[in-house]
Structure 1
Amino acid sequence: MSRIAYGQEDFSLSLPISQSALVTAQAFAQQQPTSEKASRVLFNTLSILTVNYYLDLMGIETNLSVGDSWNPVLRLCTDVSDLEVSGIGRLECRPMCASGKSCYIPPETWNQRAAYVVVMIDESLLEAKILGFSPSVQTEELLVSQLQPPEALTAHIKQYQQNKQPVNTQTLVNLSQWFAGVVENGWQTVESIFSQPEYRPLYLFRSSESALINRENETMSAILRGKVINLGIQIANQPVILIVELIPQENQKTNVRLQLHSTGSKIYLKSGIILTVLDELGNMFLEAQSRSADNYIQLQFNGEIGEHFSIRVGLDEASITEHFVI
């Protein structure tokens, strides 16, 4: 393992490609219908195995087999190049040609990975260079000049792992129990929250209030519960109301609708409040951000019985997270 310097900004890390890695990549490539697709799969797989080898040297546990890249159907139908890292989720491992100045990142991976690692595969297929990584991506072309050094990747992963604290089962909100009338402390009916003048939104006219409160009667077995959330001085001591609506669906699925409302004398939510749904691994699944003229923001998704997720409400450096199981 050696560091290669091509210029002032270069901090790439050179690693050998093992015979077993090459055999695996070539086997995956041979399953593809066209030479173009075969080449893409070959280089994607070598990139993944290079990053996997490096993390193994650094003592970081990975799981190759659970990634989409090891699924033959997904490998055939999509452009996948992911690596599962224990405790944080997936890295995107992308190959780049020697003459390139940027690396293509598929839009479907944006905000879905713990980091994006760029790898250059030598034409001999005997050596690969990890050029660096980016913690996040918002564009299809990731510039090499934007990459952080490979050696910082392990620190990034460890920090990511530390930020994912285990969920205390005492704070886990069991949504299925809501249908049986069992509701955790802090969660109330919408009607009981709106009956308190300090929380009832000023913009909420009686007609719209009645529609929200009575929505449970409009769909069979629908449940609405709310919770007052206070981010303190970050929103000028003005609480917001998180409303969770559950609607049972077929095949043991549940439709979950989330709304975040302003309270009291505030007609609009403070601009920049972020409502985020996190999956079981803590990865961002859905997100909405309030604008200057939003009374409320909303997210909606379907989940299965037993599925875990979290809801985070945040503004600037302040945030509150609630953990749920359907």
Structure 2
Amino acid sequence: MTHAIYQQDNFAVPLPITQAARRIAQNFASQQPTPEKAAQVKLNTLAVLVVQEYLEMMDIPTNLTASDSWNSLMRLFADVADLALPSLGSLECRPVKSLAHTCFVPPETWEERIGYVVVQIDDSLREAKLLGFVPSVFTEDLPLTQLQPPEALIEHVEKLKQAKATVVNLRQWFAGIFESGWQSLEALGNSQTPTLAFSFRSAEVFEPQTPDHSQPVTRRAKLLDLGIQVADKPLMLIVEISPLSEEKTSIRLQLHPTGNEIYLPEGVQLTVLDESGSVFLADQARSADNYIQLQLRGDTGETFSIRVALNDISITEQFTI
């Protein structure tokens, strides 16, 4: 445990807590009905303001007023400590006290955050340390030994910006225009093993989603590399689209293993997020699933995201219809 604390101190970023920040935190705390809730709100607010200061130093824009933590009703009825990043989503900024070994993360924040930052706040409320960052959380008690350095937060935000800039236009697929990385099932099947090719051939026999059998169906697939989480073997995301009307499109998503793998890694998640970043649909692989699947419909102009995640590693693709 001593070694772990030493490592955190090595990459923790010390930041002062300004008088203005303490004044705001005290004001929010004074609006709460109990001393316990007031203490929670005060620490949450200070954590958010410390992270905002750090991001501003790194030239990353934030929007306090768009955050739930800046909504008086949300502060009253929920344990919120989020900071909105325009066009990207919200970071959760969780406070811990000195000598803590874990950080509490409310379950209601596990699905709708682009990352989690842990801020250590000293008893005087005058000094803070940015302890580190994780991109996702699946437990209420996050061990501080699992934190990545604060620099990883900056890299994560930059990757999100790049991903946001590359939006897949599904309507263009009907015209034969495809973004880089999206290939036909045949091309990707031939580049992999016979096991993968067989899996794709099985995926081609989907039942149509519309009674009009004359409607064209377009399929493309992309390899997603989750690194050591799946033994360096990429997963395959298949997207199938077909028009239901001039304004509505049917969309089917499948996630497959590749190489000699028969089954998906247990626990890997396939999630559809709406334009606001909220979970719209989700599925998770069990111990013997050779693929998982989601189906949805959308109107022209709608945007959504697909996230593939395993443990603390995730990849998100952006789409517009």
Pick the TM interval, shorter chain: 0.5 to 0.7
Q: What count of residue pairs does the alignment treat as equivalent?
A: 276
1:96–1:121: 8 Å Cα contact kept in structure 2?
yes
Shift in Å, 1:258: 3.1
Q: Cα deviation per residue 1:141-189 (whole Å; 9 max; x = unaligned)?
A: 111222223344334433443x425246xx51249xxxxxx954489xx
Equivalence for 2:120? 120
Equivalence for 1:70? 70
Q: Using a 3 Å threshold, how does the CA distance of structure 1 residues 101 and 224 change in structure 2: closer, same or farther?
A: farther
Q: How does 1:1-326 map to 2 (within 5 A)?
A: 8-9=6-7, 10-11=9-10, 12-86=12-86, 88-161=88-161, 163-167=162-166, 171-174=168-171, 183-185=174-176, 201=202, 212-213=207-208, 216-217=210-211, 225-229=217-221, 231=223, 242-244=239-241, 258-260=252-254, 271-272=264-265, 275-280=270-275, 286-290=281-285, 293-294=288-289, 297-300=292-295, 306-311=301-306, 323-325=319-321
Equivalence for 1:265? none
CA distance in 1: counterparts of 2:25 and 2:252, whole angstroms: 43
CA distance in 1: counterparts of 2:16 and 2:309, whole angstroms: 44
Q: Using a 3 Å threshold, how does the CA distance of structure 1 residues 261 and 65 change in structure 2: closer, same or farther?
A: closer
After the TM superposition, which of the residue ranges 119-128 and 285-294 deviates more from structure 2? 285-294
Q: Which structure 2 residue ranges, 5 or more long, are not aligned? A: 179-184, 186-197, 225-229
Q: Using a 3 Å threshold, how does the CA distance of structure 1 residues 56 and 173 change in structure 2: closer, same or farther?
A: same
2:163–2:317: 8 Å Cα contact kept in structure 1?
no
2:269–2:309: 8 Å Cα contact kept in structure 1?
yes
Look up the equivalent residue of 1:288 and give its one-letter code: D
Q: Using a 3 Å threshold, how does the CA distance of structure 1 residues 145 and 186 change in structure 2: closer, same or farther?
A: same
Q: Using a 3 Å threshold, how does the CA distance of structure 1 residues 18 and 172 change in structure 2: closer, same or farther?
A: same
CA distance in 2: counterparts of 1:106 and 1:153, whole angstroms: 20
CA distance in 2: counterparts of 1:225 and 1:151, whole angstroms: 44
Question: 3-state DSSP class of the match of 1:164?
Answer: helix
Shift in Å, 1:231: 5.0
Q: Using a 3 Å threshold, how does the CA distance of structure 1 residues 307 and 120 change in structure 2: closer, same or farther?
A: same
Question: 3-state DSSP class of the match of 1:62?
Answer: coil
After the TM superposition, which of the residue ranges 48-57 and 145-154 deviates more from structure 2? 145-154
Look up the equivalent residue of 1:26 and give its one-letter code: Q
Q: Cα deviation per residue 1:253-294 (whole Å; 9 max; x = unaligned)?
A: x897634398xxxxx975358644355488986543556754
CA distance in 2: counterparts of 1:122 and 1:240, whole angstroms: 45
1:203–1:295: 8 Å Cα contact kept in structure 2?
no
2:264–2:290: 8 Å Cα contact kept in structure 1?
no
RMSD: 4.6
CA distance in 1: counterparts of 2:33 and 2:297, whole angstroms: 35
Shift in Å, 1:111: 4.9
After the TM superposition, which of the residue ranges 105-114 and 135-144 deviates more from structure 2? 105-114
1:275–1:313: 8 Å Cα contact kept in structure 2?
yes
2:112–2:277: 8 Å Cα contact kept in structure 1?
no
1:87–1:281: 8 Å Cα contact kept in structure 2?
no
Shift in Å, 1:24: 1.3
Q: Cα deviation per residue 1:78-121 (whole Å; 9 max; x = unaligned)?
A: 11111122453221110112232110012222253332111122
1:52–1:62: 8 Å Cα contact kept in structure 2?
yes
State the TM-score, normalizing by the size of structure 2: 0.66
Instruction: Give aligned-pair identity as a percent.
Output: 41
Look up the equivalent residue of 1:271 and give its one-letter code: L
Shift in Å, 1:140: 1.4
Shift in Å, 1:20: 1.6
Q: Using a 3 Å threshold, how does the CA distance of structure 1 residues 274 and 37 change in structure 2: closer, same or farther?
A: closer
CA distance in 2: counterparts of 1:173 and 1:203, whole angstroms: 19
1:216–1:224: 8 Å Cα contact kept in structure 2?
no
Shift in Å, 1:299: 2.5
CA distance in 1: counterparts of 2:219 and 2:55, whole angstroms: 42
1:29–1:39: 8 Å Cα contact kept in structure 2?
yes
1:93–1:117: 8 Å Cα contact kept in structure 2?
yes
Look up the equivalent residue of 1:260 and give its one-letter code: Q
Shift in Å, 1:50: 0.8
2:255–2:293: 8 Å Cα contact kept in structure 1?
no
Question: 3-state DSSP class of the match of 2:15?
Answer: strand
Equivalence for 2:190? none
Larger radius of gyration between Structure 1 and Structure 2: 1
